[in-house]
Amino acid sequence: MPARVDIAIIGAGVVGLAVAARLADRGDDVLLLEKYDSFGQETSSRHSGVIHCGIYYPPGSLKARLCLAGNRSLYDLCSRYGIGHKRLGKLIVATAENELGQLESLLERGRDNGVAGLRLLSPAEVKQLEPNVAGAAAVLAPSTGIIDAPALMKCFLGLARRGGIQVAYRSRVSRLEKLSGGYRLTVTGDEGDFSFTARLVINCAGLHADKVAALAGIDIDDAGYRLHFCKGEYFSIGSGQCHPVKRLIYPLPPADLSGAGIHVTLDLEGRLRLGPGVLYVDRIDYGIDARHKRLFYDSARRLLPWLEYEDMEPEMAGIRPKLQGPGEDFRDFVIAEESSRGLPGLINLIGIESPGLTACPAIAEYVAGLVGRL
Ligand SMILES: Cc1cc2nc3c(=O)[nH]c(=O)nc-3n(C[C@H](O)[C@H](O)[C@H](O)COP(=O)(O)OP(=O)(O)OC[C@H]3O[C@@H](n4cnc5c(N)ncnc54)[C@H](O)[C@@H]3O)c2cc1C
């Protein structure tokens, strides 16, 4: 490991990798640090794999802006580098008449956000597009899709390496100390501790981004940076079912946008699954509570009346790094250069939950803009 680099990126999830690939374009001297022995071992491999369209988020928020920009960039990247994806489109379905007002408000919000191609569908149009979905009406979002996220991460890693970026695995950043003109990072690895300096530090540590910010001396409660772990469980719909859907099928989201509601996603092989739920937890544990199957079933049956309880199996879980605590209001992504806290050159990315996968190329562009000013 070098004694000094210009830029250190902490965390090789999809966001850290996207940032590394983007900075490689500029020819910067960058070291990407990851505590595991490979990339994408945490949240970036435990999600729905959906390229979101940007309909849900408050207009003007980073989530709305970066999701929209990321959506376009991801499709471009997929075409340019042959990354597996499908632009399936999605339906957001009102299952009862009394949900129509909420559906129309969502449509309006999506249009305010600049989401292209949104259309309100009548029950007959819902039936025509998705004969196996029950709905009083729906919004069609044609720019929603799915992506092979591991292939995207490999692509970013390849671009980063080709641009000369070094990657250090088994390297957990355990200390971060402000110096004049930069930072000293201490990394705990297989062979003990090692220190080096960097002019700029970019914190892409996902579920641990608040702890990394705290290492630099930030009071995370004061700053509003404390993360809450929010588990999302998935149940697969087994091969016994014979009523496939062609698009992603979502209910209306909860008013606090704590999740998108238990929905039906497809993977690139056409397998169906239900999820993710919203469950605040105290620690990182990817186990699935089989007792939640009934809740998933009842919720999904409103959209998929043919669903059989026996067809559902626990599949996997992911954990959202959420700034929004239980019962609290919507919180936006934090992407902040910390000069105002006396920490110039430290860029924190905190609360990068959904739509972080979709937004990652746009997040990288945004971070590159901050780096360009330093
Ligand atoms: C259930 C669920 C469903 C989702 N579905 C979608 C979706 O369909 N579409 C979408 O756009 N988004 C979705 N998301 C969000 C998306 O998965 C995340 O926003 C994205 O993966 C976050 O990437 P990241 O790189 O910030 O974090 P991570 O993937 O968690 O990467 C952070 C990395 O930092 C490393 N690290 C942490 N601390 C240190 C340290 N001290 N030193 C060194 N390394 C460290 C970790 O090991 C990890 O590899 C979903 C999330 C969840 C949980």
96-106, pLDDT tens digit by residue? 999 999 999 99
Strand partners, 8: 31, 201
Strand partners, 230: 280, 320
pLDDT of residue 155: 98
pLDDT of residue 25: 82
Rounded to whole angstroms, the Cα distance separating 214 from 228 reads 15
Is the minimum distance from the CB of 319 to ligand 1 under 6 angstroms?
A: yes
Is the minimum distance from the CB of 18 to ligand 1 under 6 angstroms?
A: no
pLDDT of residue 240: 53
Task: Provide the residue ranges of all domains of the chain, joining segments of one domain with +.
Answer: 4-46+150-226+330-372, 90-142+228-322
Quote the ligand 1 centre to 52 CA distance (angstroms): 16
pLDDT of residue 86: 98
Rounded to whole angstroms, the Cα distance separating 236 from 295 reads 14
| Mutate which of 44, 274, 333 for ligand 1 pocket (most atoms within 8 A of beta carbon) | 44
Second-level CATH architecture of 4-46+150-226+330-372 = 3-Layer(bba) Sandwich (3.50)
Whole-prediction pTM: 0.97
Query: Which ranges of the chain does DSSP label H, i.e. alpha helix?
Result: 14-26, 62-81, 100-113, 123-129, 149-162, 209-215, 220-223, 293-301, 356-372
Q: Look at residues 145, 139, 143 and name the one whose alpha carbon lies nearest to residue 93.
A: 139
3-state secondary structure 309-359: HHHEEEEEEEEEEECCCCCCCCCCCEEEEHHHHCCCCEEEEECCCCCHHHH
Angle between helices 14-26 and 149-162 (to 10 degrees): 30
Q: Which two tokens stand for residue 150?
A: 């591991």
Q: Whose CA is nearest to atom 26 of ligand 1?
A: 206
Hey, which CATH number is domain 90-142+228-322, 3.30.9.10, 3.10.20.740, 3.40.50.2300, 3.10.20.30?
Answer: 3.30.9.10
CB 304 within 8 A of CB 132: yes
CB 60 within 8 A of CB 331: no
Is the minimum distance from the CB of 210 to ligand 1 under 6 angstroms?
A: no
Rounded to whole angstroms, the Cα distance separating 179 from 287 reads 42
Residue 115: phi, psi to the nearest 5?
Answer: -75, 125
Q: For the beta carbon of residue 288, count every other beta carbon within 10 angstroms.
A: 19
Q: Which two tokens stand for residue 315?
A: 């599949």
DSSP element (H, E) containing 201: strand 192-203
Residue 178: phi, psi to the nearest 5?
Answer: -75, 130
Is the minimum distance from the CB of 261 to ligand 1 under 6 angstroms?
A: no
What single DSSP character describes residue 161?
H
Strand partners, 321: 229
pLDDT of residue 255: 75
Quote the ligand 1 centre to 137 CA distance (angstroms): 34
pLDDT of residue 242: 59
154-169 b/e (C-beta count within 10 Å ≥ 16 → b)? bbbbebbeebebebbb
Is the minimum distance from the CB of 92 to ligand 1 under 6 angstroms?
A: no
Q: Which residues of the chain have pLDDT under 70?
A: 239-243
Is the minimum distance from the CB of 14 to ligand 1 under 6 angstroms?
A: yes
pLDDT of residue 26: 83
